[in-house]
Structure 1
Amino acid sequence: MSADGPEIVRRGGLPFRALAPNAITAMALCFGLTGVRYAISAAGAGPIAHWEIAMACIIIAGILDGMDGRIARLLRAQSKFGAELDSLSDNIAFGVAPALILFLWSLQFAPRFGWIAALALAVCCALRLARFNARIDADEQPHKSAGFLTGVPAPAGAGLAFVPIYLWMVTGMEIFRDWIVVMPWVLFIALLMISNVATYSWSSLRLKPSYRIFALAGVGLLAAALITNPWFTLLIICAGYLLLVPFSMAAYGRVKRRRREASAPAAPGAPS
Structure 2
Amino acid sequence: MIIQGPKKIAFFLPNTFTALNMACGFASIVFAMKGQFYMGSMILLLGAIFDSVDGRVARLTGTQSSFGEQFDSISDVISFGMAPALLLYLRFFQDLGRIGVIIPFIYLLCGALRLARFNANIDRVTSDYFQGLPIPGAALAVIGFVLFSTEFTLGPWAKYIAAFYAVAYGFLMISNIPFASFKNSEFVKKNKRKVLAIIFLTFTLILVHEQVMILGVTTLYVLSCLVYDFAHRKELATIFDWKEEDEE
Secondary structure of the equivalent of 2:82? helix
Taking only aligned residues, the RMSD between alpha carbons, in angstroms, comes to: 2.3
Give me the whole-angstrom Cα distance separating, in 2, the residues matched to 1:182 and 1:10.
49
Structure 1 stretches of 4+ moved >6 Å: none
Aligned to 2:180: 200
| Conserved? CA contact 1:175–1:181, under 8 Å | no
Aligned to 2:4: 12
Residue 34 of structure 1, CA deviation: 0.3
Change (3 A) 1:208 1:228: closer
Structure number with greater CO (CA < 8 Å, separation at least 6) is 2
Which residue, 155, 166, 180 being the options, matches 1:174?
155
Residue 111 of structure 1, CA deviation: 3.5
Give me the whole-angstrom Cα distance separating, in 1, the residues matched to 2:232 and 2:128.
11
Residue 209 of structure 1, CA deviation: 5.5
Secondary structure of the equivalent of 1:77? coil
Which residue, 191, 197, 203 being the options, matches 1:223?
203
Give me the whole-angstrom Cα distance separating, in 1, the residues matched to 2:116 and 2:200.
35
Which residue, 224, 230, 235 being the options, matches 1:244?
224
Q: Does 1:89 align with 2:82?
A: no
Aligned to 1:23: 16
Runs of 5+ in structure 2 lacking a partner? 240-248
Give me the whole-angstrom Cα distance separating, in 2, the residues matched to 1:234 and 1:71.
25
Letter in 2 for 1:201: S
Q: Deviations over 1:92-131 (max 9, x none)?
A: 1000111111101111121430101111111111111011
Q: Deviations over 1:3-50 (max 9, x none)?
A: xxxxxx9573761011110000000000011001001111xxxxxxx2
Secondary structure of the equivalent of 2:187? coil
Residue 214 of structure 1, CA deviation: 1.7
Give me the whole-angstrom Cα distance separating, in 2, the residues matched to 1:191 and 1:127.
10
Letter in 1 for 2:204: A
Change (3 A) 1:129 1:217: same
1:31-42 to 2 correspondences below 5 Å: 31-42=24-35
1:93-242 to 2 correspondences below 5 Å: 93-137=79-123, 141=124, 144-145=125-126, 147-175=128-156, 178-207=158-187, 211-242=191-222
Letter in 1 for 2:142: A
Secondary structure of the equivalent of 2:63? coil
Change (3 A) 1:114 1:132: same
Residue 242 of structure 1, CA deviation: 2.0
Residue 161 of structure 1, CA deviation: 2.7
Identity, % of aligned pairs?
Answer: 27
Runs of 5+ in structure 1 lacking a partner? 1-8, 43-49, 259-272
Letter in 2 for 1:30: A
* TM-score (normalised: structure 2): 0.87
* TM-score (normalised: structure 1): 0.80
1:40-59 to 2 correspondences below 5 Å: 40-42=33-35, 50-59=36-45
Residue 68 of structure 1, CA deviation: 0.5
Aligned to 2:48: 62
Aligned residues: 237
Give me the whole-angstrom Cα distance separating, in 2, the residues matched to 1:31 and 1:208.
31
Q: Does 1:76 align with 2:62?
A: yes
Change (3 A) 1:82 1:222: same
| Conserved? CA contact 1:24–1:68, under 8 Å | yes
Letter in 1 for 2:9: F
